[in-house]
Structure 1
Amino acid sequence: MDIVIKLSQFLLSLSLLIILHELGHFIPAKLFKTRVEKFYLFFDVKYSLLKKKIGETEYGIGWLPLGGYVKISGMIDESMDKEQMALPPQPWEFRSKPAWQRLIIMLGGVTVNFILAFIIYIGMAFAYGDTYVANSDLKDGVLVENPVMLKAGFKTGDKLVSIDGKKVVNFDGDLNMNIIMAKQVLIERNGQEQTITMPTDFVDQLSKYEKGLLVTIRKPFAIKDVPAESGNKDLKAKDLIVSINGQQAKYYDQAVAILANNKGKTIPAVVLRDLKQTPVTVKVDKNGKLGVIAGGVDLSDLEKLGYYKISTKEYSFFESIPVGLEKGKDQLVGYGKQLKMIFNPETKAYKQVGGFAAIFNIFPSSWSWEVFWSITALLSIMLGVMNLLPIPALDGGHVMFLLYEIISGRKPSDKFLENAQMVGFVLLIALLLFANGNDIYKAIVGR
């Protein structure tokens, strides 16, 4: 059932992005009276699942879910229709239109991608608002367990001050990604500020370990269940450990450290039970464990217990517009930084480039419209940016040649454009094989 939910989200998001991207080409083509021969969701190699011709355009769904396309008459594209191009230009063909109209048609897809992303972020701001913990409220710092973060110089209890000079105001969902993209992080430790310079190959180092957050909010040792074999009959589900062997254990990491120093001992402890402090006796096994199942506490519980103040900010429709635009801008800039890292061999970030399996795995196994729209908005930005790359066969390649034509007043020959299209197509196949090959490699080696 989990895989069905993931697949449903993946296909719905992919289909939405493809259809709207291709509409971005289709609509201006129609406005400029350019004939569109085909409009397809997914590729119809050899045959299609569904098709219907309406007017001069055949609409359909292909069987290969690797993208989609519109076939515009008189345009050198992936169809490589040389027979049509050998005939005299017709007034309804793409090649007969002024360069500025062709430029608008080619930019239509990525324009829709960016507009869609910003609309989604505005809608999310209006529908969900923002939920966060103010960074100033994390008086005891953050939890750091990731070995790559520890190696870089971070420690549990550090307070995050700024990332690349930008002050950390809130602890929210973007914080971990900002750290991944960072060059320098300013922290406060024991009342003293210090700068941590992030390793150049930080992304590559992260790939060698289990996926997880780099920093998290410190939580108490909450007990979800107490198995009979643990021998800790004094403990009950929903207990919160307050102290162990006379030492304060406000947070889970503190409790773990105290237990590790009392292996194989039976020691006193204090738990918070029904909001009352209750003394108990606990048995610590030879591994420094209590044998209980920890967890079962969320942010709302932590607020009730006085750990943190959870802030929720709601926005009116008009207030949502600047908030959504700012969110979209941040995501766009962030993805630009990711691409820069990928093209920098020193970072080794290219090893983490993923294909369709990587995109599929982003989606959760339980349905959440908030998560779905958040992922779809990010994918829309990614699709827009990738299509703008100046590679022949991509929209950016066509735009590059059109700009050359507009500036120089000379149009590249059809033969040149055909050869460029072929080179671009080979590059795209190579990139596709590399990205999906990375997915296969990670699946085989288990990381």
Structure 2
Amino acid sequence: MNAFQQSVDEARRSGSGSENTRAWHGRFPYNEIISLLDVDRPFNLAESTSQDLTVGELLDLPGLERIRDLKLGYGKSAGAGALREAIAEVCKVPAEQIVTTQGAALGLFLLAFEVCRPGDEAVLATPCFPPGRDGLLGAGARVREVRLSFDNGYRLDLDQLEANLTPNTKLVSIASPQNPGGVQTFRVEIEKLLGLLEKRSAQALLFVDETYREATYGDAAVIDSFAALDARIVTGASVSKALGAPGLRTGWLTVADAQLRARLTVAKMNTVISGSVLDEALAAALLRNREGVLAPRRRLLGDAIEQLATWCKREQKRVEWVRPDAGALCCVRLRRDAFDDLAVARFWDLLPRYELQLACGTWFGESDRVFRLGFGYLPAARFGAALAALSSALDAATA
């Protein structure tokens, strides 16, 4: 057990009152997804990124020939000019509309912290990346969850969204493609959602997390960013997932409203001051050369998803899946006619024996019958072996 987990367990034991109170007292809810930062088993199917870039691969990119001359002073609060220009090209908006953040999750937290006051509500489509929910709670928003359905392919439920919109709604948060499902929202759905906001929540902003947007498969087309579609839309993304550089901790928001942009810049100044000038210089070079970096990753993702589709078909009597539109991730569910509740519990207990790592659905707001399976992180040669190990774990759980 690592020191962090030991401190978590001690905090849980020291509480009093209800089980939830005993479990945790933090401003941010505790979520087991934090274990992904400390555990990395050989068959890691829990990660949702493409394969990690190395520093050497980054330094070989054009535009970094004078990186040794970079002075390690403070950066600009809104973000380095070269990085904002590179992001603007990706999102097709003016560079002045960009505010860089330490990952998209911090961007959403700062956005919620600024636009939501006591009593204000945020409507959130779930399942979702845990910081996407817990950051809203940590910022003090009252969160109304709209639970999307595995059986409906995690498509956006506009009727449910409309039912949860009120005059107190200040923020609606969705992801496209979603994490954990990899399901995209299309322009016609966004336009309908904006119409609902105008009718029921006139002051609300729509946040769209586009972190996986460019992680397509093979030669599949990339959907344009929603950043330029409407001034009420704030998008967030980063270099973490599709580009394989989560260690740079560099993300951004696109914000059309100048006053809100200024408030977010002040909020960033008062929390992290600025981004790392080194990280932002590397991220700018990565974005300027992104097509060369993305192309081989898209081929690997295209091959991997077909391999996964074959495995899911072979295992269709025991599992079912929602095939993703983009991203290095998808949701798989243990079938009820093959796994009773005890078998589900055995399945999770058996994973370490098979050197497997999966992301449990409960982390994202789903049941423990569902798991997020990442198919872009492992090298191609190991991915097939990981799926074989997963089949062995299924065998053992139902034996």
The normalised TM-score by structure 2 is: 0.23
The normalised TM-score by structure 1 is: 0.21
The structure showing larger relative contact order (alpha-carbon pairs under 8 Å, at least 6 residues apart) is 2
Larger Rg: 1
| Greater strand share, structure number | 1
